[in-house]
């Protein structure tokens, strides 16, 4: 039996040297290690070995098995390396040091404008935070003082998930978390993608982008809100613009306003972009409702603040002259790169 073991090892080495492919290696594995292979034959013969020789023969069989397993592993890896090398030789080589074609691809006009808005607020001491796209019902509605009876909770406005969470309908969904993290004195800006179950048309999308901002401190006033918004618009449009506040209603602010800006395209004279009114509706805003501050653990008798939600898809359309919001999500690189140069 000892001689047979030695012969099998020599036989394996000979076949290993002759193997040319991974398939050859697999055939050798079956011949030696398979159910009907030589190792199993040896194990069957081992039962008849005299007791005094069992230890020696057992060690020799285990040594043979280990040598074959190791040899097969080396053989298979070597054949894989050979196949990869041959494939690389046959493939078309790419020189990664060649200059990139700079005409392919472009920053999205929305990305360009978002950076301009963020830069303007950072220069005024704001911290930038990210928000979640999937939110709890509490964060999206309850924490910002939206009552259970509010129509925004209906299926036609909100994308509800099977687990009871929602695709956030507004960047205000991050307010409670932001105020708890940064309050009671803070200036925070948090941009994000929002979702509403809307019918699509030239001015409505079910996926859109907002930038929410909150300022909380002692003795914050509406005049502070106006100042920050005018400074932001100045940074975006590179010139001074006038703003006005109209009464509005939002559950998370009191008092609430709609903030308009003079049309930056016509300077307030009237054009197609502003429907010939000279004004463009920019964003809802107002003083943060005491209930929202209380929900975030902030004493509304000592601190107050303002919040605004800027839908900057509208600003992109104003600055580019784009007449259909659906094109912003259309993925037409050639079209969007042309608009990006106008930002």
Alpha-carbon Rg of the chain, whole angstroms? 35
Q: Around 256, how many Cα atoms within 13 Å sit in the side-chain half-sphere?
A: 11
| Choice between 89 and 168, residue whose per-residue pLDDT is larger | 168
- CA proximity to 194, closest of 215, 221, 226, 166: 166
Q: Sheet of 304-311: strands edge to edge?
A: 127-128, 186-195, 207-217, 304-311, 279-288, 253-262, 243-250
How far apart (Å, rounded) are the C-alpha atoms in residues 125 and 339? 30
Band (180; pLDDT cuts 50, 70, 90):
very high
pLDDT at 83: 82
The answer to whether the beta carbons of residues 174 and 189 sit under 8 Å apart is no
Q: Above 80 in pLDDT, residue 318?
A: no
The answer to whether the beta carbons of residues 52 and 99 sit under 8 Å apart is no
Least confident residue range of 1-5, 16-20, 128-132: 1-5
pLDDT at 155: 66
pLDDT at 105: 65
Band (222; pLDDT cuts 50, 70, 90):
very high
- CA proximity to 219, closest of 189, 185, 251: 185
Band (233; pLDDT cuts 50, 70, 90):
confident
The answer to whether the beta carbons of residues 170 and 139 sit under 8 Å apart is no
| Choice between 121 and 49, residue whose per-residue pLDDT is larger | 121
Least confident residue range of 8-22, 57-71, 218-232, 314-328: 314-328
Q: Above 80 in pLDDT, residue 174?
A: yes
Band (267; pLDDT cuts 50, 70, 90):
confident
Band (80; pLDDT cuts 50, 70, 90):
confident
How far apart (Å, rounded) are the C-alpha atoms in residues 194 and 10? 70
Domain range summary for the chain, segments of one domain joined by + = 2-90, 109-340
pLDDT at 16: 85
Q: Above 80 in pLDDT, residue 252?
A: yes
Least confident residue range of 65-69, 250-254, 332-336: 332-336
The answer to whether the beta carbons of residues 110 and 312 sit under 8 Å apart is yes
Band (273; pLDDT cuts 50, 70, 90):
low
How far apart (Å, rounded) are the C-alpha atoms in residues 189 and 197? 25
- pLDDT, tens digit (0-9, with 9 covering 90-100), for 279-311: 888 889 999 999 999 999 999 999 999 999 988
- Mean pLDDT (the chain) is 86
pLDDT at 59: 86
pLDDT at 100: 67
pLDDT at 92: 66
39 preceded by a cis bond (ω within 30 of 0): no
pLDDT at 33: 84
0.85 exceeded by pTM: no
Q: What percent of the chain has pLDDT over 90?
A: 33
- State in words which class domain 109-340 has: alpha beta
């Amino acid at each position: 039996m000892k001689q047979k073991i030695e012969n099998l090892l020599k036989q394996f080495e000979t076949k290993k040297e002759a193997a040319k492919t991974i398939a050859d290696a697999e055939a050798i594995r079956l011949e030696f290690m398979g159910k009907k292979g030589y190792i199993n034959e040896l194990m069957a013969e081992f039962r008849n070995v005299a007791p005094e020789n069992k230890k020696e023969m057992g060690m020799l069989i285990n040594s043979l098995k280990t040598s074959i397993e190791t040899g097969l592993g080396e053989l298979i890896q070597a054949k894989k390396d050979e196949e990869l090398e041959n494939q690389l030789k046959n493939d078309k080589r790419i020189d990664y040091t060649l200059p990139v074609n700079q005409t392919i691809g472009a920053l999205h006009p929305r990305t360009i404008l978002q950076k301009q808005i963020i830069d303007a607020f950072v220069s005024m001491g704001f911290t930038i935070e990210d928000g979640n796209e999937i939110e709890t019902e509490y964060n999206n509605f309850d924490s910002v003082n939206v009552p259970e009876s509010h129509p925004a909770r209906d299926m036609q406005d909100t994308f509800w998930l099977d687990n009871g969470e929602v695709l956030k309908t507004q960047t205000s969904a991050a307010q409670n978390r932001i105020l708890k993290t940064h309050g009671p004195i803070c200036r925070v800006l948090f941009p994000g993608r929002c979702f509403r179950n809307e019918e699509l048309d030239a001015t409505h999308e079910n996926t859109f982008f907002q930038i929410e901002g909150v300022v909380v401190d002692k003795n914050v006033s509406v005049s502070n809100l106006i100042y920050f918004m005018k400074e932001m618009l100045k940074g975006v449009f590179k010139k001074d613009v006038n703003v006005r506040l109209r009464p509005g209603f939002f559950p998370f602010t009191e008092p609430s306003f709609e903030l308009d800006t003079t049309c930056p395209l016509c300077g307030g004279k009237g054009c197609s972009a502003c429907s010939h009114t000279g004004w463009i509706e920019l964003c809802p805003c107002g003083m943060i409702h005491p209930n929202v501050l209380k929900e975030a653990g902030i004493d509304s008798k000592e601190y107050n603040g303002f919040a605004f939600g800027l839908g900057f898809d509208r600003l992109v359309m104003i600055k580019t002259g784009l007449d259909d919001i659906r094109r912003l999500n259309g993925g037409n690189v050639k079209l969007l790169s042309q608009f990006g140069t106008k930002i």
